[in-house]
Each structure stands twice: as structure tokens, then as C-alpha cells.
Structure 1
């Protein structure tokens, strides 16, 4: 009986962990990990970061869309960066780590969607050197 309960709890935890890695929803926005394709690397800003450092990036959404794609890629799984995404009204949409998509690969590749439309204005992306040895190059 105890083994069955333990097995059931393990299955439930794995199921919750998988769901958290595949999609999350907050205040009308849904965040879905994007399967990384190493042949497609849409770079728009190249930067460096060190342990404990914070860099801010922004992107303007100027017309109606239902999708906001963010690809933070540093490629070195031995270092860890954290990404926080804020809407133009300064709402924290989410905090993401390398494993947010279920894979530790030196990349946070997500899509934020809202069927009612992504808020128009300047979106802010906070990149933090969560666990970095030396200096880490990245693009976002």
C-alpha cells in the first residue's frame, strides 16, 4: 500500500513538473517553451554578463500581435542566467531559468502569447548573471 502511494506521488510530481516546463499562464499571458533549433539564431542584441550583474534589454511591440518571442542564448550550460520579462505596464510576466523549457542547454527560448493581443509598447527583459564564472557572452 505504501509503495502504491509513493508511486502515485512520484507520478503526480513528474506530471506537475512536465506541465510547468511546457506552459504556464499568468494574467492572460501564456508562456510556452520553444524547441531550440541550433540552425536558427535570430540575434538582435549581443552582450556580456558576469556573476551578479543585471542587464536590461527592451523591445517595442508597435502593432497588434498575439505572440512575443524571446530567445536568450548563452550556449554554456555550466553557467546560468535568469530572465525576467515585464510588459509595457510593468507587469512581471514571468521569471525563467535555463531549465524552464525542461532542458539545461544554455538557452531560454520562449513564446509569450495572449489571444486578446500582446500589450503594445516597450517590453523589458532583465537578464541576470545567476551563476556565472568569469564573463559570459549571450544574445537576446
Structure 2
């Protein structure tokens, strides 16, 4: 019985630590994303119909591209992704099929061959068509 109680406490501790970690220009191309390079840290969030969540990515070094990977996995719900440069100019907005697939994921590379503007880039996630609450990562 003590082993079960200890195992359960360890499980609760792991779940608590995992949930405590969640919180919070001219462009040459915006293309279907890759799985390499600089990207926005992936953390789990939730969103509902009509809700907007904001996420930020500081670019502090000279790079020619970075990746934004919005993943919710549920094809029945639809999220919309807006990307803004550090001057808050809208670079573009994207739906699930923006990367060529309708799969509950928007995976985009932002590319500027002369260099991505340094500063804080902003991503706005909008619950375009959500039933209930949708979990997502970005």
C-alpha cells in the first residue's frame, strides 16, 4: 500500500512540475515550416472560441529565418495564427491549411535572406472555430 501511495505522490509531483512550466520588416518568404533552426519555445496552452492568446519570441542574434510551429492536432477545431515583426507590422495570418495540409497544425518558417529584424516578434493565436476548449502548443 505504501508503494502505491509513494508512486501516486511522485506522479502528482511530476504533473505539478509540468503544469508549472506553462505560463504565460520586409520578409523574403514565409514557407511551410521545418523542424530545425530557431523556433518559439513549445509550451502547452488552451484557447476557446473567439479567444486571443499572445506569444513572444525574442530574436537577439543575426539569423535569416525562424520557425513558428502552432500545433493543436484536432482537425475539427480551427485556430488562426498572426505573426508580427518587432515594429508590430503584420507579416501575415495563417489558417490550418497554410502549410499545405489540414492537420491541426500551422508550421511556418519566416525567412529574410538579408537577416531577420532583431527584437521581439509577436504571435497571436486566435480561436477561429473552437468547440469547448482546445489545447495547443507553440
Tell me the TM-score normalized by structure 1: 0.74
* Alpha carbons of structure 1 residues 49 and 35: separation in structure 2 relative to 1, 3 Å: same
In 1: Cα distance, 2:118 partner to 2:26 partner: 16
Residue correspondences, number: 110
| 2:103 counterpart (77, 102, 105) | 105
Does residue 33 (structure 1) correspond to residue 16 (structure 2)? The answer is: no
Which stretch has the larger CA shift, 66-75 or 27-36?
A: 27-36
- Whether the 8 Å CA contact 1:88–1:120 is kept in 2: the answer is yes
Classify the secondary structure of the residue corresponding to 1:116: coil
- Whether the 8 Å CA contact 2:34–2:109 is kept in 1: the answer is no
What are the residue-to-residue correspondences of 1:65-80 with 2, within 5 Å?
Answer: 65-80=63-78
CA deviation after TM superposition for structure 1 residue 27, in Å: 3.0
- Whether the 8 Å CA contact 1:52–1:131 is kept in 2: the answer is yes
Structure-1 residue corresponding to 2:120: 122
Deviations along 1:82-102, one digit per CA (max 9) or x if unpaired, are 000000011111100000011
- Whether the 8 Å CA contact 1:61–1:120 is kept in 2: the answer is yes
Q: C-alpha root-mean-square deviation of aligned residues, in Å?
A: 1.7
- Whether the 8 Å CA contact 2:70–2:136 is kept in 1: the answer is yes
5+ residue gaps, structure 1? 1-25, 37-41
